[in-house]
Amino acid sequence: MMAAQDPQRRLWNERVELMSHDEMRALQLSRLQRQVAYNHAHSPYYRERLDAAGIAPRDISSFDDFTHVPLMDKVEHRRVQEESLVRHGTPFALLACAPREKIVRVSATSGTTGMPTLYTLTAHDVAVVNEMHARKYWRAGIRPGHVMVQALSLSMFTGGLPLSQGIQHLGACVVPVGIEGGTQRVLDFAHLTRPDALIATPSFGQYLIEQCPTLTGKPANELGFRWFFCAGEPGGGNPGLRRLLADGFDAKVFDHTGGGHAFHGISCDESPDEYKGMHFTSEDHCLLELVDPHTHAPIALAEGAVGEMVFTFLDWEGGPFMRYALGDLIQVWTKPCSCGMPGLRFKIVGRTDDMLIIKGVNLYPEAIRQVLMGFAPRVTGSFRIRLREPGPKVVPPLHLRIEHGPDLAQADLPELEAQLQTRMRSELRVAPLIEWLAPGILPREAHKTKFIEIVGDVGH
Ligand SMILES: [Zn+2]
């Protein structure tokens, strides 16, 4: 969208990214009204939903009015795709708004069981996604001439081709090595292409740091990366893990989100130990709302508020999502950030479907990882929650399997365990049963790590 950028400028699209809050809200509202009318006119599904709720597009005169539109989630999305296949012989017919000849890309969400949920894009939507990727990497300091190794699953996943294209749109050079060829291949290309930046899940980054000396004969901080971009997992917001990645690669660590759709954000890196969340970089293309995960009642976007994230695409032609609840719990901050970068900030707190309830206390795997990382290097940070049956209700005690660090003597385990128990009780209000594992026992996953294992389903 923007051409011929001055490499000195701080933001990719200053006109939009520096917009005042009031101006941005006005732009969002006018785009929202237009989008709802478009969705109603072009998607049989949305028309049915809006009509059933007694809402006509012209009724939307404020953001409040819009909160009466019913939510949609992945289960509903799959159901609509299935119904569409049965009734029309294509998964897109009910939801997609653009005619078939305008759809140029289909992406899918990752790591879920059952039918993948599809994102459909026109050339206009592809340009929007490219613009969003460019905004994020530009803020982090990536410029034409920089080489970025993309070590994420490339297969259909929204962190695959859409991300590669976004990097090219900015004018930087992408090495889309993927993870399908294994760790050695990633390291070979890191050596061969002399890259500046690595994009990977924090878990895979940690694994590369562990494996690099064995596989290449040198530590990971000699690979030459100056940036590590965390993707695909909430671990990029975990200070212990950020410190480990920063030291391991001798790189700045950024957390970012947004693959093939309109919701994007990137953290501001000052120190790996202080995480201020991700700045929301696509407000002009995506309306963000928070709702209570149980009652779905709206929660105001106020400083420090926590709720389930709901988003609505504001300028989308293909399959626009409207009040889509993706199952992510986030916390938001509206006050200006000390980094000086504009925009509302958010942090991913956990997945609503990962939530465990132990004696009335809500617990997320990410919160356990956060506590654990405070004990590195006495622990590796890898762990599993072992359940006898699927959650969210857990009969105590919570069974944790935790890897201790490679240099920890067996005799020091009881003291470590006592300290860990104290911290878990004070920060998470749980008293787990801890099973210690040797370092490196648990499989490292390049994609999304499944922290919960169900007995009888162990080893996946
Ligand atoms: Zn900031």
Determine the pLDDT at residue 196.
98
Q: How confident is the model at residue 199 (pLDDT cuts 50, 70, 90)?
A: very high
CA of 243 to the centre of ligand 1 (A): 18
Q: What is the pLDDT of residue 454?
A: 87
Do residues 233 and 263 touch, judged by C-beta distance below 8 A? Answer: no
**Ranges 40-54, 232-246, 257-271, most confident:** 40-54
Give the Å distances, CA to CA, from 133 to 119, 156, 211, 217, 439.
Answer: 17, 17, 30, 34, 36
- Domains of the chain as residue ranges with CATH: 356-454 (3.30.300.30)
DSSP H helices, 18-73, are 21-42, 44-52, 63-66
Separation of CA 270 and ligand 1 centre (Å) = 8
* Bigger pLDDT: 435 vs 390: 435
pLDDT digits (tens, 9 = 90+) for 217-237: 999 999 999 999 999 887 788
* Residue given tokens 């613009």 in the structure block: 131
Select, from the ranges 146-155, 156-165, 266-275, the one with the highest average predicted confidence (pLDDT). Answer: 146-155
Q: Which amino acid is at 352?
A: T
Cα–Cα distance between 252 and 419 in angstroms, integer? Answer: 30
Q: In angstroms, what is the span from residue 255 Cα to ligand 1's centroid? A: 12
* Residues within 5 Å of ion ligand 1, judged at the Cβ atom: 268, 276, 337, 339, 341
Cα 422 to chain center, whole Å? 30
Model pTM?
Answer: 0.84
Q: Is 395 left (phi over 0), alpha (psi -120 to 50) or beta?
A: beta
Compute, in angstroms, the gap from residue 108 CA to the centroid of ligand 1.
30
> Comparing 144-158, 182-196, 401-415, which segment has the lowest mean pLDDT?
144-158
Give 264 Cα–ligand 1 centroid separation in angstroms: 15
Beta bridge mates, 252: 227
